[in-house]
A and B are shown apart, each in its own frame.
Chain A
Amino acid sequence: MAYYSMMLEVLPALLAFLLCLLLTPLLADFMRKHGITGLDVHKPPPKPVVPEMCGIAMVISLLCSLGLSAFLFPQYSDIFVAIALSTVIVALIGLVDDLYCLNPIFKACLPALGGIPILLLSAYSPRPYLPFVGRARLTYIYPFIIPVAIAVTSNATNMYDVLNGSMPGSMGITCFFLAICSILLGRIEGLIIFLCLSASFFGFYHYNRYPASAFSGDVGSLGMGAAFGAAVITTRLDIIGVVAFMPYIMNGFWILTSVKGLRERREIRHRPVVFQDGFLIDSANPHAPITLVRLLVCESPLTESEVVKRMMVLSALAGLLAILTTFLILA
């Protein structure tokens, strides 16, 4: 019986993984045919042209797996619906940004709209569990935190998507660790959702890893970042989710602090790292933003895949801290 139940919990994740593996090359062909491509700047000339917006595959895979989860576990269907709606809203914002390039302030603020389905469906609990404190009561503040949290997770995920495989690889690891935390806390809904998210990310990582044959685009990074934020809120893994997400928050905080405000990627003229002889090197430009990648290469140059490997290790270490936080909560 336990084996059968475990199979049911893993089934949606399996669907997400296979669907993402199948859809990404189809989407990549479509985008290439329609000229929706981008240059892979961290490669030697001639810079390869890679299809953009293939992150749609991750979003579709996640939505299908959430649909299957709602069918298999109808008692959690409000949570699955809230996450799916949040993801769709923010993915559409990403799609518009990919096609028409939004103003940086709009791009940063609009993903907050992804919090509306969670608020309307009341798929949250305003009493988060915190280490040392126990159950906090944030009845008035919590509803205001939700849209901010969705905007933060989607934009921070987007800011992490800078090298081949950096975003899907690291996010896949983060979600996997949160699935473990859900098991420790006995939250089946969290296990299902984070396994689905992790599977979608790893399915896409297969095509996005070095050398990338598909780029996620803002539709994928913003949409999946919102899905992550919505999952953390609805499964009540609030503080644990924040800890697991720390490398992304740190990267976003460093960029925003060093460029002194919200800037569109194309607006930042001074690059933090430069590509030279197959290595990523710190540009040593005082006007360039301080990013996680820059901090990783500031002592000595590294290849792109080495940097991505280190970013994934950092995500795993943050995941371990999240497990430690779970134990502190349980204590």
Chain B
Amino acid sequence: MKRTLSLFGIMFVVWGSMLLLLATVLTFVARIALDSSFAMRALGGILKVIIAAFLAILWLWGWWKLTLAYYKRSSRLLQRHQLS
């Protein structure tokens, strides 16, 4: 059950950070307004997409590193258990 709860811990972190990320992107990034001219609006749109994509990649990277850290820790525990 401990392992299931550890994996739930990862899921909980992913859930919380996903909601925060969505809130950040939709509340702050989506409201970037540069100017009323077409060129500046287009630039603002591109900027929004770049910031949102950067945040999403950062989130996925963090998620992957968290999983790897969990896997390495668990494998070490198994090896220690097998050695003893």
Residues of A participating in the B interface, judged by any CB pair closer than 8 Å: 130-133, 136, 239, 242-243, 246-247, 250, 253-254, 257, 282, 284, 290, 292, 294-296, 298-300, 310, 313-314, 317-318, 321, 325, 328
Contacts and interface: CB of A to CB of B under 8 A. Distances in A.
B11 A257 contact: no
Nearest to A131: B19
B7 A243 contact: no
Contacts of A318: 11
A290 B65 CA distance: 12
Interface string B17-35: 0110011001100000000
B74 A246 contact: no
Most chain A CB within a 10 A radius of its CB, from B1, B3, B63: B3
Contacts of A284: 75
Contact of B26 (A133, A253, A310): A133
Given A133-B26, A250-B14, 14 more contacts: A130-B26, A250-B11, A282-B75, A290-B68, A295-B7, A295-B71, A296-B3, A296-B4, A299-B75, A310-B3, A314-B4, A314-B8, A314-B11, A318-B11
A295 B74 CA distance: 8
Nearest to A239: B22
A114 to B, nearest CB: 24
Pairs of residues from A and B, 10 with the lowest C-beta to C-beta distance, nearest first? A132-B23, A298-B74, A299-B74, A310-B4, A133-B26, A317-B8, A313-B4, A321-B15, A136-B26, A298-B75
Nearest to A309: B4
Given A132-B23, A239-B22, A254 B11 contact: no
Contacts of B75: 282, 284, 298-299
A226 to B, nearest CB: 23
Nearest to A284: B75
B53 interface: no
Interface of B: 1, 3-4, 7-8, 10-12, 14-15, 18-19, 22-23, 26-27, 60, 63-64, 67-68, 70-71, 74-75, 77-78, 81
Contact of B15 (A136, A243, A296, A310): A243
A288 to B, nearest CB: 11
Contacts of B11: 246-247, 250, 314, 317-318, 321
Contacts of B19: 130-132, 325, 328
Nearest to A297: B3
A149 to B, nearest CB: 15
B60 to A, nearest CB: 7
Nearest to B79: A284
26 contacts: A130-B19, A131-B19, A132-B22, A132-B23, A133-B22, A133-B23, A133-B26, A242-B18, A246-B15, A247-B11, A250-B67, A254-B67, A282-B75, A284-B75, A290-B67, A294-B71, A295-B7, A295-B71, A298-B71, A298-B78, A299-B77, A300-B81, A313-B1, A317-B4, A318-B11, A325-B15
B64 A314 contact: no
A239 B19 CA distance: 9
Contacts of B63: 253
Q: Which of A133, A253, A313 has the most CB of B within 10 A?
A: A133
B5 to A, nearest CB: 9
Contacts of A253: 60, 63-64
Contacts of A282: 75, 78
A136 to B, nearest CB: 5
A314 B10 CA distance: 11
A263 B3 CA distance: 28
A328 B15 CA distance: 13
A296 B7 CA distance: 8
Contacts of B77: 299
A117 to B, nearest CB: 27
A247 B10 CA distance: 10
